[in-house]
């Protein structure tokens, strides 16, 4: 089977752990949704809709209302309908979510921001490899430079570990360069839990390097698909993996919680 297209998130999966990529992209195994994913999905939709409104209406109370409206829609779907065990649990989740959204206004004033685009569906053929993803937001700064922004509702990693978190955003910068024939000047990871903003300047040399890395990943995925060899790569992220009970790198015991059978390489 030849690889048809690749998303930034699936490219990240393969880079972190080829076995995880296989579970998600080849085997297409379902993963249970979590309250954290529910918060992220709902917050992204609320923030997208906030910028549909005139600048004076982009207030905290409006964002809270948009979050509640978005959650009403999302929770009615089969995927999220039975997520919470009780009304009190769901109510506390809502309170915690509002506190997280309040942090957004300490990072930037949405009344002063006019995004160039939001939730931008991108499908680009990079001379033989096809990459598709959805970009949270792209702005122009006061100097006219393109800025790519990704919202995160999880906790920010320590700054010394943040560089790897920019991997997917640099792919999006590469796609934007191809589509607009213009190189973004910066990518930003906006963590609402904190809040914390990590910023990384980008240039053509970095994006050329990302292009080469993407092509190497594409080739590695095709080789793994041909051979069926997707080696697991144990590490700290295994603690949050949905596939611990079937991963060959995990030691399963009926009497004990599932734990790593090997240290991170």
Summarised one tens digit per residue, pLDDT across range 227-237 is 999 999 998 88
Asked if 237 and 253 touch (Cβ cutoff 8 Å), the reply is: no
73 Cβ contact list (under 8 Å, min separation 6): 45
Helix (H) or strand (E) holding 221: helix 204-227
Distance CA 113, CA 263 (A): 45
Digit-coded pLDDT (tens) for 17-67: 999 999 999 999 998 899 999 999 999 999 999 999 999 999 999 999 999
Single pTM value for the model? 0.89
pLDDT at 247 over 50: yes
Q: What average pLDDT does the segment 88-107 reach?
A: 96
Q: What is the pLDDT of residue 165?
A: 86
Helix (H) or strand (E) holding 44: helix 35-50
**CB neighbour burial string for 199-211, b if at least 16 within 10 angstroms, e if fewer:** ebebeeebbeebb
pLDDT band at 250 (very low <50, low <70, confident <90, very high): confident
> What is the torsional sign of CA 149, 155, 161, 167?
negative
Asked if 150 and 183 touch (Cβ cutoff 8 Å), the reply is: no
What ranges do the domains of the chain cover?
8-27+115-226, 35-110
Q: What is the pLDDT of residue 263?
A: 36
Sheet of strand 196-201: strand arrangement: 117-125, 130-140, 146-155, 186-193, 196-201
Distance CA 162, CA 165 (A): 5
């Amino acid at each position: 089977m030849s690889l048809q297209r690749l998303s930034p998130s699936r490219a990240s999966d393969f880079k972190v752990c080829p076995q995880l990529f296989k579970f998600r992209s080849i085997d297409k195994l379902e993963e249970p949704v979590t309250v954290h994913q529910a918060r992220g999905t709902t917050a992204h939709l609320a923030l997208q809709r906030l910028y549909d409104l005139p600048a004076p209406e982009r207030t905290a109370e409006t964002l809270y209302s948009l979050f509640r409206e978005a959650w009403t829609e999302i929770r009615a779907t089969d995927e999220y309908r039975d997520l919470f065990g009780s009304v009190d649990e769901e109510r506390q989740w809502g309170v915690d979510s509002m506190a997280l959204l309040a942090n957004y206004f300490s990072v930037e004033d949405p009344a002063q921001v006019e995004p160039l685009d939001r939730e931008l569906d991108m499908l680009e053929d990079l001379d033989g490899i096809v990459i598709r993803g959805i970009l949270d937001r792209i702005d122009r700064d006061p100097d006219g430079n393109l800025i790519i922004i990704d919202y995160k509702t999880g906790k920010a990693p320590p700054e010394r570990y943040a560089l790897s978190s920019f991997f997917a955003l640099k792919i999006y910068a590469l796609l934007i360069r191809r589509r607009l024939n213009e190189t973004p000047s910066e990518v930003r990871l906006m963590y609402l839990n904190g809040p914390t903003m990590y910023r990384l300047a980008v240039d053509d040399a970095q994006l050329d390097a990302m292009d080469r890395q993407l092509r190497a990943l594409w080739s590695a995925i095709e080789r793994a698909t041909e051979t069926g060899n997707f080696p697991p790569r144990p590490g700290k992220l295994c603690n949050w993996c949905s596939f611990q009970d079937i991963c060959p790198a995990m030691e399963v015991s009926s009497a004990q919680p599932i734990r790593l059978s090997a240290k991170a390489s």
